Structure 1
Amino acid sequence: MDLAQHDDRTGEPTARPTSVTVSVDDPLRPDVVALLQDHLDDMHATSPAESVHALDPSALTAPALTFWTARTSDGTLLGTVALKELHPTGGELKSMRTAPAARGRGIGTVLLDTALAEATARGYRTVHLETGTHDFFAPAHRLYTRAGFVSCGPFGDYRPDPHSAYFRLDLAPATAG
């Protein structure tokens, strides 16, 4: 997939499109660990510790999780997402993160589409996610709402928390092709 780079102030293209590849990856790669640490740091800066539900890189290697990265053709890390199986018909998005230099270029949409395509292929009927409630998380809320997610109550092991927003997407069954 090719994504154009844009000036954050004007929205004008600044460079030729960048080729992006999304693939299953190792969350313990050094560049991934660094991006996920930035993610954890931001979560702790915006929410109290008991409200931080982001996973550390080693937890993302669990068998119930599939972890993807988006990278440029030269291997530069652009973002991450994971899909965790909650039960046979439902999953949860985890560790959705776009590198600061790649924000506003559609990387989040590409990663989200990848995870949702996999959820559909697995036969999931729903995908849930938890994210923060502070202004820092407004771009994530917009991304999820555009994709059809709706606000819902806590799911799985989550409990009501003023620092957490919960979303659900009902998926259409996969069609034989």
Structure 2
Amino acid sequence: MVATVAIETPLQDDVRRLVDALNDHLLPLSPIEFQFKMTVEQMAGSDTTVLVARLQDGTAVGMGALKVHDAELGEVKRMFTDPSVRGQRVGVKILEAIIALARDKKLRQLKLETGVGEGFAGAHRLYTRYGFTACGAFLDYPDSGHSAFYEMTLTVPATAA
């Protein structure tokens, strides 16, 4: 299985299906009031870049987004891989693309909010493997005990003199 990741508009039927699948996946895992979802319309805003993973036949099998809050801070949003491709490094490719995009935008920090509990264990492993460390609540997220927060400081490569 070879998946490629590219920047795409979320305003496509197959991306909408991924968003719906993510929302359905989250329902039993956290209280609804502590699920901080973005609609595809919000994801299509100028502050957000959506990355979609597709199989060679064009099937959308994963997504993630980078939301830029200011010149320093970006947030990883809406990470999801279809259950049919879990364990095949699709999430890794999406996260690597988000980190690279954040570096291209010269952001200094990436943060994210995700759930807690066994249903989120794979996500926690992925984020920590890529250098994210636990942090406190940020922006307007409540410190409810239903969320885990992670951050990564990005280093911008030195330019040649």
**TM category, shorter:** over 0.9
Contact 1:151–1:165 (8 Å) recurs in 2: yes
Residue number in structure 2 paired with 1:13: none
Secondary structure (helix, strand or coil) at the match of 2:64 reads: strand
Secondary structure (helix, strand or coil) at the match of 1:45 reads: coil
Tell me which of 36, 39, 51 is aligned to 2:19.
36
Matches of 2:73 and 2:53, distance apart in 1: 24
* Larger displacement relative to structure 2 (62-71 or 42-51): 42-51
Give the ranges of 4+ consecutive aligned residues of structure 1 lying more than 6 Å apart after TM superposition.
none
Following TM superposition, by how much is the alpha carbon of 1:28 offset from its aligned partner in structure 2, in angstroms? 2.0
- 1:140 corresponds to 2:129: no
Contact 1:43–1:54 (8 Å) recurs in 2: no
Count of residue pairs the alignment pairs up: 160
Listed one character per residue, the Cα deviations across residues 64-92 of structure 1 (whole Å, up to 9, x for unaligned) are: 00001010121011200100001101100
Q: Which amino acid aligns with 1:70?
A: A
Q: Percent identity?
A: 36
More strand by share: 1
Tell me which of 84, 100, 109 is aligned to 1:126.
109
Matches of 2:59 and 2:128, distance apart in 1: 28
Residue number in structure 1 paired with 2:41: 58
Q: Which amino acid aligns with 1:21?
A: T
TM-score (norm 1): 0.87
Listed one character per residue, the Cα deviations across residues 9-58 of structure 1 (whole Å, up to 9, x for unaligned) are: xxxxxxxxx33221111212111111111111222221112100121222
- 1:172 corresponds to 2:155: yes
- Flag structure 1 segments of 5+ consecutive residues without an equivalent: 1-17
Matches of 1:161 and 1:52, distance apart in 2: 11
Contact 2:61–2:81 (8 Å) recurs in 1: yes
Contact 1:82–1:95 (8 Å) recurs in 2: yes
Residue number in structure 1 paired with 2:137: 154
Q: Which has the higher contact order (CA 8 A, sep 6+)?
A: 2
> Pairwise mapping of residues 20-31 of structure 1 onto structure 2 (< 5 A)?
20-31=3-14
Q: Which amino acid aligns with 2:24?
A: D
In structure 2, the CA distance between the partners of 1:175 and 1:19, relative to structure 1 (3 Å rule), is farther
Matches of 1:175 and 1:79, distance apart in 2: 32
Secondary structure (helix, strand or coil) at the match of 2:137 reads: coil
Following TM superposition, by how much is the alpha carbon of 1:96 offset from its aligned partner in structure 2, in angstroms? 0.4
